Chain A
Amino acid sequence: MSVFGTTGSVSRRYLCPMLNVNPYLNFPGTTEEAMNFYKSVFGGEFTAFARFSDSPGHEKMPKAEQNMIMHAALPLGNGHTLMATDALESMGQDLVTGNNYYINLATESEEETNRLFKGLSAGGKIEMPLNRTFWGAYAGMCRDRYGVQWMLNYDLSS
């Protein structure tokens, strides 16, 4: 399944049956830009980056949509992967960006927390600045420039 992997090891990773849970985001044609933004924040390399033009039947799709992203995956560390796809207007996929869902990152140091928070909130909106909370964490919340909501939580007792 070459569409899901840019390298052999990646394809094997994707094809390997294993228990996993990952956040899967939809964007209105901005997946490529958004995922490159996340790559600039988290580092690492995409383990999958496929356009709709890589899929069977793509020739029937509107030209502009053929170039959109069908599936992109960016490892966030410790086996977690951020995944995304473009929602297609031609398929009637009306995107509503909600505020009921956060990706919660348990970080490993204040320095890492500061760096990721600054990166993710740049051009977005800080909902709760990083601070020492009553639950014993250094934590903050933000909505990034693509409407995705993040919580960062560094457990100060760790």
Chain B
Amino acid sequence: MARVSTYLNFARETEEAFKFYQTVFGGELTGIMRFGEMPAAPGMPPIADADKNLLVHISLEILGGHVLMGTDAPSSMGFQLNFGNNSHINLEPDTRAEADRMFAALSAGGAVSMPLADMFWGAYFGSCTDKYGVQWMVNTMGK
């Protein structure tokens, strides 16, 4: 396997969400493609004007070389998006200070499920859901 990355779907908020993730992790938003720029495929219905600015693809390198990718999945195109709680993105920053910073930033406007605290497995750990419905875990063994 060359690489494993995380691919998120949002109804229409992918661009806004990725700009938010950029404020947390820094880095550059790359690979941006909008539905209006997509080559027409045989049998594919035309894209409605209101959907042309939505994102087919965007990516952001978040931490340790891991790439977060996203796409809009609007109901106007027949997508039925359903936000589950069965998947987390597990971040392992180097230090507690980084863990505190990331956790505060990601949970702002969202919900903290477990505040950062020392755990019996030796880590400083917490979990939260961000304001776009994505679940994160922060786990550091660093000082």
Contacts and interface: CB of A to CB of B under 8 A. Distances in A.
B102 to A, nearest CB: 11
A146 B64 CA distance: 28
B: contact size bracket? 35 or more
A: contact size bracket? 35 or more
Interface string A94-107: 11111111111111
A19 to B, nearest CB: 3
Contacts of A102: 6-9
A157 to B, nearest CB: 13
A95 B4 contact: no
B85 A80 contact: no
B69 interface: yes
B81 interface: yes
14 contacts: A15-B141, A17-B92, A19-B94, A21-B66, A23-B89, A25-B86, A77-B4, A96-B83, A98-B84, A98-B85, A99-B80, A100-B8, A100-B10, A112-B1
Interface of B: 1-10, 38-39, 41, 57, 62-64, 66, 69, 73, 80-95, 120-122, 133-134, 137, 140-143
B interface majority secondary structure: loop
A97 B86 contact: yes
A112 B93 CA distance: 31
Given A100-B82, A101-B84, A20 B2 contact: no
B67 to A, nearest CB: 8
Nearest to A99: B82
Given A96-B85, A100-B9, A101-B9, 4 more contacts: A20-B63, A76-B1, A103-B5, A106-B4
Contact of A106 (B2, B87, B134, B143): B2
A27 interface: yes
B94 A17 contact: yes
Contacts of A106: 1-5
